[in-house]
Structure 1
Amino acid sequence: MSKYKLVLLRHGEGAWNKENRFCSWVDQKLSEDGVKEAQDCGRLLKQQGYKFDLVFTSILSRSIQTAWLVLEAMGQEWVPVVKSWRLNERHYGGLIGLNRAEMARQHGEEKVKVWRRSYDVTPPLIEESHPYFLELYNDRRYTTCDVARENLPRAESLKEVLNRLLPYWNSTVAPEIQKGKTVLISAHGNSCRALLKHLEGISDQDIANVTLPTGIPVQLELDDNLKPVKPRQLLGDQAKIQAAIKKVEDQGKAKQAT
């Protein structure tokens, strides 16, 4: 029997989503389309009758901006927003900033799919010579984390994302849901996928086939133990959602290169 509802949301389209680059921990604002996606999402959730008590985001701007726009569209700007690096996007290491389609041309689509979708393969570590290294590790937001900056990841598999996310879920997010609060998590493709893997018990192999498009809310109905009582539901126009899923999946194909 369904006792709790949880909504997971991958942020609206960011500037580097549009350019098909590995964005990861580089801080990007939403594109114009991403702003519209977040606003449309808020209107949809309002129509569905959602009244959020608490929102969790990462400490990346596109996640926070999405939450703000969703709450504004719902007329619920007052709802508290709690931020944690543990909900950040997966750290793509040395791949950060690279074009996915270009990488598929150079290394093959299967290799890029492994980097993007596999559960336990870690991409190459980010080196100090990487053009975005100083921007990331000198960023003041990472002085707020519950681990020392030198202990932050230099690259992550999806398994490693789940390992850093799970303690936060267990200590902070899950207890709020079990108090009866309606929670929105406005995060990223891979942090949402990692959490879905945990909640739904998705196998290491099958998680590669779970694709979340930007700006589409995912509704989960959970029992007392926060286990799903029915399949996840992507809310909105289902034809548009399927087209958006295909667009994400096609990002790793060489033919996307220009």
Structure 2
Amino acid sequence: MNNEQRPGTPQPQPNQWHGQQPPAYGQGGGLPPAPPYVNQPKQKNWFMRHKVLTGIGALLLVGGIGSALGGGNKGTDAASDTSTSSTSVGESGASAPAQAASSNKAKETKQEKKDPGLNTPVRDGKFEFTVTKVQTGVKTVGDQYLNQQAQGQYVLISVTVKNIGDKPQTMFDSNQKLTDAQGRQFSPDSGAAIYMKNNDIWMKEINPGNTLSGTLVYDMPADAKPVKLELHDSMFSGGTTVSLTK
């Protein structure tokens, strides 16, 4: 009677897992234990993970903006220059080189008008010069026995020189420069000047208050036209100019 179960008492169930695996997760069995918690590092964004590429991209962007700005300025300047140049040509009717040449010619003409002409005393340093005559196209200087022939033509310039200083001063013809219509400059032919009679002006000392007259001799091309004479009391002086066309 002791082994008999009382009515209403639940009957013990045999171990249903004996010799069997527990049912898989999700099939009515118990939940498996949760894995231990691991603190996962936060994922960085793309720019932080690619710092080199980000830096290069930034440089390219800045460079592109700078080039765009620079190119715009250059184009504006070029257009401005072109516009200015076109305006200048359109208004004057001539290019810049032509205007410069015209300006230089005008200055030369103005200078020639200011330069004194023949028979007008001019001064440089201790000397007062007066050009009295110009003779061109001379082939030979000297006499029938002692003479010299020109390579092109001799241009003879008669000059009077007065010492207006207080000390002796030597007149050298080599300091006197002749210019032709083409702007070429010529030095005197002192060797030819020696053959001219009573011509000491090529190298002569002049005392204070005294006056010396003579002829400057220049060997120039046959087609050259003398236009002005630059006179100096010494090789270091500033000089004075006389127009030979007046």
The alignment's TM-score, normalised by the length of structure 2, stands at 0.20
Structure with the greater relative contact order (CA < 8 A, sep ≥ 6): 1 or 2?
A: 1
Query: Greater helix percent: which structure?
Result: 1
- Bigger Cα Rg: 2
The alignment's TM-score, normalised by the length of structure 1, stands at 0.19
